[in-house]
Structure 1
Amino acid sequence: MNRERILDAAQHLVIENGFAATSLDQILTQVGTSKGAFFHHFDSKLALGRALTERYVAADVGQLRWALEETAGVEDPAERVSAFIRCFEDSAEEVMSEQSNCLYIAVLTEQQLVSNGTADLITQAIEAWRTEIAALLDAAAESRGLDLGDTSALADHVFVTFEGAFLLCRSTGRPDHMRTQLGVLRRMLEAMLGSPASG
């Protein structure tokens, strides 16, 4: 349990302040534990960074799997694409209440975490999103007799919309941008696929 509490506190601090600017003492103070307890679970701050990233990636890919399962019963492939985005649009406020930014940005700006392979975990998550969303888009295009071009690039655009929306929310102080941008993305995809507009 202590390990999860350390990870919870570290994730919040790293997202808010960056990895380098978050000291071990800050994390320990927030958790109310000792250095001995920390080193019982983590060999170093870099090991903590990797554990944070592993956990965040697992949760991120878990959200992807959740939306795929939620929309598995939608028979029309084009409508499923819309429903898939709608899953995240409808939960945007919850996402933004839990965090104001994405851990990926904090990790990718730290050379130590990039060079020790921690950032490779993020690439794996991106590839998981790309593969699954491209498959949804391919099925939708086939069902409509459309040529969407490079559906992998379009799938990446879905991922980029999330990351860009985090940046927009953070820079403006307005968490509602996440829902707004996901709504724009959904309507754009609906227009491309000729699926019924859902509001």
Structure 2
Amino acid sequence: MRKGAETRERILEIAEASVLAKGFGATSIEEVIAEAGITKSGFFYHFKDKNELARALMLRYVEENDRIFDDVFHRGRQLSDDPLQSFLITLKLLAELMGDLPNGHPGCLIATFTYQERLFDRTVRDIASDAVRSWNGRFRDALNEIAAVYPARKGMD
């Protein structure tokens, strides 16, 4: 990783930890640059403003969570060919991951951002909304696979 990319990643790590600990509004650029050991101009080289930092944080968070979901759903499918059993295994793996907070997963940046949504531009809100819809789609697809193999005994709305 190049030095610039390393600095950007360090800024994102520091900012994410601070945002998860106390919220985006209470996280200052000055605090982030002090902990990162960079100048203010160094920060603005990577992010033009705090909203751009929020976009980068959200994109990074979504990418990491997509990877986590890919992994647990894949592991569930590897452990059972039956869609119901596979889904139950996936839920157990997710529960174990969440049970190990904050070691396995630092917390939910989307939930933190949702509480302060007025601080962000439309792009940040759209990234969060699209991510949640995508994650919901994963679960809906799994439930549809189950329904195809195990039809409901009674009619459902």
How many angstroms apart in 2 are the aligned matches of 1:131 and 1:116? 22
Runs of 5+ consecutive residues of structure 1 not aligned to the other structure: 151-199
Change (3 A) 1:17 1:133: same
Runs of 5+ consecutive residues of structure 2 not aligned to the other structure: 1-5
Q: Aligned letter for 1:111?
A: R
Structure 1 residue 65: Cα displacement? 1.0
Structure 1 residue 61: Cα displacement? 1.5
Which residue, out of 58, 62, 70, partners 1:65?
70
Q: Aligned letter for 2:32?
A: I
Does the aligned pair in 2 maintain the 1:19–1:110 contact within 8 Å?
Answer: no
Structure 1 residue 94: Cα displacement? 3.6
> Is the partner of 2:77 in helix, strand or coil?
coil
Q: Tell me whether 80-89 or 96-105 shows the greater mean CA deviation.
A: 96-105
Does the aligned pair in 1 maintain the 2:25–2:119 contact within 8 Å?
Answer: no
Q: Tell me whether 137-146 or 78-87 shows the greater mean CA deviation.
A: 137-146
Does the aligned pair in 2 maintain the 1:14–1:22 contact within 8 Å?
Answer: yes
Does the aligned pair in 2 maintain the 1:141–1:148 contact within 8 Å?
Answer: no
- The aligned counterpart of 2:90 is 84
> Is the partner of 1:71 in helix, strand or coil?
helix
> Is the partner of 1:72 in helix, strand or coil?
helix
Q: Within 5 Å, which residues of 2 pair with 1:6-155? A: 6-73=11-78, 74-97=80-103, 101-108=107-114, 109-113=116-120, 115-146=121-152, 149=156
> Is the partner of 1:10 in helix, strand or coil?
helix
How many angstroms apart in 1 are the aligned matches of 2:138 and 2:105? 25
- TM-score, normalized by length of structure 1? 0.68
RMSD: 1.9
Describe the superposition over 1:117-150 as per-residue Cα deviations: whole angstroms up to 9, x where unpaired.
2011111111111111111111112212226947
Change (3 A) 1:3 1:148: farther
- TM-score, normalized by length of structure 2? 0.85
Q: Aligned letter for 1:52?
A: L
Give the total of aligned pairs.
Answer: 149
Change (3 A) 1:148 1:111: farther
State the identity as a percent.
Answer: 25
Change (3 A) 1:22 1:77: same
How many angstroms apart in 1 are the aligned matches of 2:97 and 2:86? 17
Q: Which runs of 4+ in 1 moved over 4 A?
A: 147-150
